Amino acid sequence: MCTLTWRAQTDGCGYELWFNRDEVITREAELEPRLWPSAGGGAAFLAPVDGARGGTWLAVNERGLTVALLNDYGVTWRPPVPSRSRGDVVVEAAREMTIAGVAAMLSPDKLRHTPAFTLIVLETGGAAACWNWDGLRLEVKNGADVPEFFSSSSYRTAEVIAARRAGFERMTGNSADEAARRAYHFSHDNTRGAESVLMCRPDANTRSVCRVRVGAAEAVFEYVPVTRGGAGPEVGEMRRWTLPRAGA
């Protein structure tokens, strides 16, 4: 129940990514981003924390690598118990230095206890890859084959994703304009709550809107908490964290 868009910056030095995280109202509150220190020779990274399982859904590391994950609700397969949290996949991938490093750590055998997901990984310079795991196959796309729009929904999956995609194309025209992207990710329509990107329905709502910007010298993580209000989503105050690029 999330939406992600991204674009490479025109100077070729980095990229920008937006992520709306949606969750059921019974799930524990998430924690704002913190620095996860380097461990085992892996990179340090910035990431918020899932209050239920301790992992994350979005991370950017000191090498300028961003990793993001969306659940795949269109898959009926369920992993054998005990299952592995999808958020742990993001934590492991965020320690890697490159897309190639992430590719090397992913395999169907290692994922057989992990529920279905789509994993998006971006490198500085605009390189991109995404993997979809459905319990049987791990399919990958690279480069120009990686779309700029991803969304998921446990409710009316195909219909909701189609509506959000149409809104993205209508509001941004797939534009690089920052204001258009921001307006899209904070857009809400009370008459179409489940289809809104800033989502609010009786059993779930958007918990946060994050923006990651990676340039030649640093990575910036902006985090906006979102709560339920009487008239729909209520947007909190934006906080910003900066991570210098290692070796920059």
Question: Can you give the length of the chain in residues?
Answer: 248
Q: What is the pLDDT of residues 107-122, one digit of tens each?
A: 999 999 999 999 999 9
Range of the domain at 9: 2-244
Q: How far is CA 57 from the centre of its chain?
A: 6
Q: How far is CA 118 from CA 5, 10, 16, 232, 246, in A?
A: 13, 26, 19, 28, 27
* pTM reported for the whole predicted model: 0.96
End-to-end CA distance of the chain: 36
Contacts of 104 (CB under 8 A, 6+ apart): none
Q: What is the pLDDT of residues 200-241, one digit of tens each?
A: 999 999 999 999 999 999 999 999 999 998 888 999 999 999
Residue 194 has pLDDT above 70, yes or no: yes
Given this model, what pLDDT does residue 107 score?
95
Given this model, what pLDDT does residue 9 score?
84
Q: What are phi and psi of 29, to 5 degrees?
A: -65, 140
Rounded mean pLDDT of 39-55? Answer: 95
Q: How far apart are CA 202 and CA 208, in angstroms?
A: 17
Number of Cα atoms under 13 Å in the Cβ half of residue 86:
21
Cross-strand bridge partners of residue 129: 121, 142
Contacts of 42 (CB under 8 A, 6+ apart): 94, 95, 96
Contacts of 235 (CB under 8 A, 6+ apart): 186, 198, 209, 224, 225, 226
Q: How many CB atoms lie within 10 A of CB 117?
A: 21
Q: If DSSP codes are grouped into helix, strand and coil, which group holds residue 234? A: strand
Rounded mean pLDDT of 185-197? Answer: 91
CATH of the domain at 195: 3.60.60.10
Q: How far apart are CA 209 and CA 234, in angstroms?
A: 12
The DSSP line for 157-184 is HHHHHHHHHHHHHHHHTT---HHHHHHH
Residue 174 pLDDT class (50, 70, 90 cuts): low
Q: How far is CA 36 from the centre of its chain?
A: 17
Residue 175 has pLDDT above 70, yes or no: no
DSSP 8-state code for residue 27: S
Number of compact structural domains in the chain: 1
Please name which of 66, 50, 56, 54 lies closest in space to residue 18, comparing C-alpha atoms.
66
Q: How many CB atoms lie within 10 A of CB 201?
A: 18
65 token code pair: 């690598």
DSSP 8-state code for residue 156: S
Q: How far apart are CA 20 and CA 83, in angstroms?
A: 25
